[in-house]
Chain A
């Protein structure tokens, strides 16, 4: 076998690799002594595995090793001609503290135990195949690379039904086996292999199969595998993330991870995403998990922005409340690991009470320079329209409402009095949110490197427009790089990664969805013939409606840049003992502008308003240094893995906002210097410091019994001097019982079995900075008062603030069946959060709404989490795999001593979920008055129940269960994957109307459900009489706030569908591309639900629902 890999054009190089992979060249070299066989190998930077294959082909030796001992993916370069195989191995493995043993037809590689020169050689069993052509009895032994017996291994004679199972010592016997027949030897967890019978006794060694259970899983300060982990960990990989056209990587986790509940707040690009790991631990405060990107903690709180802080003109609520993960390019992510239990998270101490989400970015791989490109284009649409009143139904409602209230059509009933054209009928949903949003995404990367240095440079561009009329878009450009280097002696390692993303978000100042569903069908045209906004003014020149497109004239631009970077230096002092330091720096900067020109205002408001620009700039930077010592060595009969480290972290945030006025005209708004008046409306300057000491000790005995201990001491600047520090710990153990002989021998279908348990503590310091100091803030005003400024108390302060602590108990059972083709994971979790750190709500008499304080409440979250992974079919052409997960969460207030003395007395009940909300009990509509009636606390009927006393029904708004089902089919070159997400929950619905049915204020349309209203005495209805003057607003609101206002919001959603086709190499090469894959992907395709509102996920009808996105694209290597 000759392999020439030299500098040549990429295509040619690829051909050579293919040639190498496909050519069969067996050199029949016979040597007198094992290891003396001559081989010829010329390889440049190829995986060790390929060299091994070449050796096998040339010598007939199969090489055996366990993946922990030999990294066969390691790239090596070699040039030998007719050298003894032993010398070749010496040059390849000699410096790796390894030794190898020759068997009949195998070389087993293992860790050198004694002197380096000791090479045990076993003489080959004499080949008597020629002398004995008759069928004979063959005995043999099946072992792993280390020579350990593999009981239960199956040995079949190929092409027959003859076979045997290895006994407890790995031994088997086969009768009547013809010489030269081929045996197929397989066992769960090992790669199957074929062996030609050449004698009476056979020693078959099997390599461990690197499969799902053994894939590397990233954990806090290290890695492990699903097989050996003691914690509750779930991983989602790049291929699954890439399959989904989403703009926030968190959305790619929906329905995939048990115990993780993710909710999108609106369908607009760049908006908030709610994430909850294993339920709501904290009664009120931060339930955000800890995000860690390549070892560096990443903010879970978004930067403040104008949209969120300053109410835009007229008190309209703003729409942009971004999530910081939206500033991470999903395409840069290699894997996302969700850590849930104490074992996995307590080493993060105070920050991980709500779990941790670790994001690992893509790293360079050694090998040829690889250029890959992935491009997709698509469309997003609002997936569902509300069923609203049509024009006639709307007019009927309005007239009836006036009749009900004994009113005549008034000068302000513009929809009825002729000011508006009552013959018009507009589908506002089509008009305002009916457009298709464009979706475009392109990613390119270059990677490569050699044995010692690898690099990756990737770049991406992403653009999404909105479904609103007008030119709005969210545009992201990003660069990602990674460099790894290790010294020649492998002792010193450097790793550097960084990502930089620029997000340019242009949005209107208001989500138009609320207008789309509420504007009367007879509302006027949007534009006048001259192209300006139509205000449909009355005789005084006053607008008769609020033209929704005014919000498209107040532009909101947000430009955010995000830099995340990290570096790692490590040095191996002696084999097994490493010291390292990781360093990280993140900087998120954003600047935004909210520009309100005169054309935004209604004509009558213009004399009282001026063009105003609000300009904000925000900056969060954070650095972290984490020195660590890591010890890995054999200790007694087992392996020890110990870690000791320290964290020093600081986060600075500052911001300022300016308001500019007095612009000569609207066009000058973009430029702040054109403002003649400039006011600094707010400034912010905060520092958060964090310091910790942590350690972990892992002991692994025979890969069977594993104990993991972790501890951390944390200090945070968010607490007063008395309570700054706190200790956290965890204890965990796992028993891989399938390795026990009594099971190994007797239960053959069980390929893997592990029980896990962990218990420990984590904490939370998720409160605002400085809550322990009594602070005064400046009172904002345009002008000074008598030349002086004003101050006011910022909030109530509490110098005794302490950490919140969550005790997590977790029990797990992992089972692999039929050669791990079926993997079952079961977890039972019970988390108890105590010393609740919360914004304790206070009566107004205290001057504020609440205070940050600790309360002795204990909230318990328990859950069952199940995951099933199966490979249903695996044949040459068709592979069908399935993944199913379901979480059954339960939440309750476990204890709350003296609750009756606190302000929670009426909100929470010990033993009941904290997600319960109290609501009125709906009785229907009074047959005489036509008004909603409710049951009060005394059991009487009333149409004016009072809060909170009469809120006698409790409704649980948290999901009852949720999960996902994914199926993946690969047929020849096609792949089809789809994910069904399901949630069982209750939420507020729109049965009673979106606002008071019958009233009018330029908005007023209603869902079709209101037509079943009460019309006259003795009518039996669940919808109260139409009402035009808001005099029946209170019963309406009470009904919305009653138990009947809440409906089933469960849904099953075809979340993701992806179809791809890998072009045949011959074909794709003709167009000068490699690995060309074309695909079509779709998100939020179908939703099955009883929910009447727009979207059961956002649980709202007034905000844009999650869009249905279709894309097509291709991926290729150059």
Chain B
């Protein structure tokens, strides 16, 4: 029974000798020998080649993935596709952050006939560890980080990928990793820093303090600055294109400006934002209704739509159809946001849409974000989901300058944004007032975009002040603990080193 498992050459020789021997004896002993012989052969063949299989044709294994430019590129493309294709209603993907942070904060109202418990938990700031909603971002974003790590590891080892492609892909991987860590950090607080694909390391990490996570984010973005191309490239990663849908060095700088700002490194924040703003060959501020068009001059990084017959998922999700709100169109804009628009603000007319419910008396008007306007099927694709745009850079620089005491320059930057909204210049009376004005400007400029409002409330330490009023209106009870989402139950259960956020 110890079996001849390995079919080595030696054994083959052995077999041939055996064969000859049997041929001779066969004549002498006839059928019995024949049978014995046959069976011997069968058993000799019972070797490992019978249980060797090739990788399935429908998947690619790691060696192959990083052996040529196209498949290596596809790893990062896969991330963009998932970002772009994600329906906003299916919480978890990084691109659904506008919806969910809008629910948690003071931007969105959940239609009262919607009973999705996850929506309600985010909305009423009543997430719990057992709430499935709690794990959404954590798991999805860490998965993307894993993909980046696996790409970085694979690219480091790759030998047959062209150097330009390798450089760009490494840059994109680090950029995406930084972006995901940035959002994780701001949604959950201190984080386990995963920089490998080794689950035994990734699954047992402690939560590193915020500052260390920021160090990694900044390092990744600095690396990306050196790796990414200056211009926009197509799928070959070499040829330039007008499509702004793969991150380039300016995307890294724009994100870095934001990260420096959040990190209170105002000098660098101003510097980075200036670099982007000064690249007037590529970027300039657009008119309000042109910002979110595809390849607009204000766009620093956009996502190309990948869902059939539709433009952006933002438009599809936020724009309330003629039949009104329902579980598929569950949110509308809050009174807090609506009332924060100054008189004459063109954004109020151009970026807000409304739906009037005539079934009730008096009729009720629901406002929705109308930055992206094409929600119908079969319309030609004119809009791209915009992840990073120049407008934010002006606001970053304004804030950085205000913090650095350069109030006039800050006011100028602010005016760049206000001007196109038809508003006048803010005269800075004090640094504090200037910062207040910038926070307000960010609210009306960046609403329902990439969670800016929720993050700003926390950053400006306004979250308790605002939410103490807002949460009860939504049917919940506010506690300062709720500004961080809970670490998922699975992580608490399966990683003994993780400590839960306070209050959960």
Contact = CB atoms under 8 A, between A and B. Distances in A.
Interface of A: 405, 410-412, 538-543, 571, 573-574, 579, 602-605, 607-608, 610, 627, 629, 644, 646, 648, 661, 677, 679, 683-693, 695, 711, 713, 715-717, 721, 724-725, 727, 769-770, 773-779, 781-794, 796, 841-849, 851, 900-901, 903-907, 944, 946-949, 999, 1001, 1029-1031, 1033-1034, 1037-1038, 1041
Given A773-B55, A793-B147, A848-B146, A788 B235 contact: yes
Given A724-B48, A776-B75, A785-B80, A846 B142 contact: yes
B140 to A, nearest CB: 8
A903 B494 contact: yes
B323 interface: yes
B306 A648 contact: no
B324 interface: yes
Interface string B130-148: 1100010011001101110
Nearest to B43: A646
Interface in B20-40: 31-32, 35, 38-39
B61 A773 contact: yes
A540 B48 contact: no
A786 B60 contact: no
A944 B481 CA distance: 14
A770 B494 contact: no
B476 interface: yes
A845 B3 contact: no
Contacts of B281: none
Contact of B42 (A646, A1001, A1030): A646
Contact of A779 (B59, B78, B131): B78
B403 to A, nearest CB: 33
B74 A608 contact: no
Contact of A791 (B78, B307, B494): B78
B235 A604 contact: no
Nearest to B486: A946
Nearest to A1031: B475
A239 B492 CA distance: 54
A776 B203 contact: no
Given A607-B321, A847-B147, 4 more contacts: A781-B307, A790-B74, A903-B494, A949-B492
A775 B359 contact: no
B495 A843 contact: yes
Contacts of B306: 781-785
B60 A790 contact: no
Nearest to A691: B50
Chain A contact surface mostly: mixed
From A610, A781, A841, A901, residue with most partner B Cβ within 10 Å: A781
Contact of B357 (A540, A769, A907): A540
Given A691-B51, A848-B146, A946-B504, A783 B494 contact: no
Interface in B461-504: 475-476, 488-496, 498, 500, 504
B234 interface: yes
Given A539-B358, A785-B81, A846-B203, A1029 B129 contact: no
Contacts of A901: 496
Contacts of B74: 788-791
Nearest to A847: B146
B78 A792 contact: yes
From B43, B65, B78, B113, residue with most partner A Cβ within 10 Å: B78
A542 B81 contact: no
Contact of A540 (B31, B78, B323, B376): B323
B51 A790 contact: no
B308 A661 contact: yes
B360 A411 contact: yes
From B3, B73, B245, residue with most partner A Cβ within 10 Å: B3
B61 A775 contact: yes
A695 B3 CA distance: 12
A574 B51 contact: no
A775 B54 CA distance: 12
B85 interface: yes
A782 B1 contact: no
B123 to A, nearest CB: 9
Contact of A790 (B42, B54, B79, B199): B79
From B205, B307, B323, B492, residue with most partner A Cβ within 10 Å: B323
A255 to B, nearest CB: 36
B379 interface: no
B100 interface: no
21 contacts: A412-B112, A605-B326, A610-B309, A688-B53, A695-B1, A725-B48, A770-B55, A776-B71, A781-B306, A782-B307, A785-B81, A790-B81, A796-B197, A841-B493, A843-B490, A843-B494, A844-B488, A846-B142, A846-B194, A901-B496, A1030-B115
B50 to A, nearest CB: 4
B416 interface: no
A794 B51 contact: no
Contact of B59 (A677, A777, A944, A1029): A777
Contacts of B129: 946-948
B338 to A, nearest CB: 20
Contacts of B39: 579, 627, 629, 644
A410 B50 contact: no
Contacts of B5: 713, 715, 725
Contacts of B126: 1031, 1034
Contacts of B78: 779, 789-792
10 tightest A-B CB contacts, nearest first: A847-B146, A604-B323, A790-B78, A903-B494, A539-B359, A412-B113, A691-B50, A844-B139, A843-B491, A782-B308
Contacts of B147: 792-793, 847
Contact of B323 (A603, A770, A776, A1038): A603
A1034 B115 contact: no
B61 A542 contact: no
A610 B42 CA distance: 58
A347 to B, nearest CB: 12
From B32, B489, B490, residue with most partner A Cβ within 10 Å: B490
Contact of B58 (A412, A717, A777): A777
Nearest to A411: B360
B51 to A, nearest CB: 4
Given A410-B112, A781-B81, A770 B199 contact: no
A718 B326 CA distance: 47
Nearest to A412: B113
A845 B115 contact: no
B294 to A, nearest CB: 12
A783 B61 contact: no
A783 B246 contact: no
Given A715-B50, A948-B489, A1029 B475 contact: yes
Contacts of B14: none
Interface in B146-165: 146-147, 149-150
Given A412-B113, A790-B74, A848 B143 contact: yes
Given A573-B31, A687-B56, A790 B61 contact: no
A844 B135 contact: yes
Contacts of B327: 1001
Contact of B495 (A602, A629, A845): A845
Contacts of B245: 785-786
A644 B56 CA distance: 33
A792 to B, nearest CB: 4
B36 to A, nearest CB: 8
A845 B184 CA distance: 11
From B77, B85, B135, B143, residue with most partner A Cβ within 10 Å: B77
Nearest to A1036: B117
A946 B75 contact: no
Contacts of B32: 573-574
A714 to B, nearest CB: 9
A788 B73 contact: yes
Nearest to A541: B323
Contacts of B358: 539-540
A515 to B, nearest CB: 15
A794 B59 contact: yes
Nearest to B140: A844
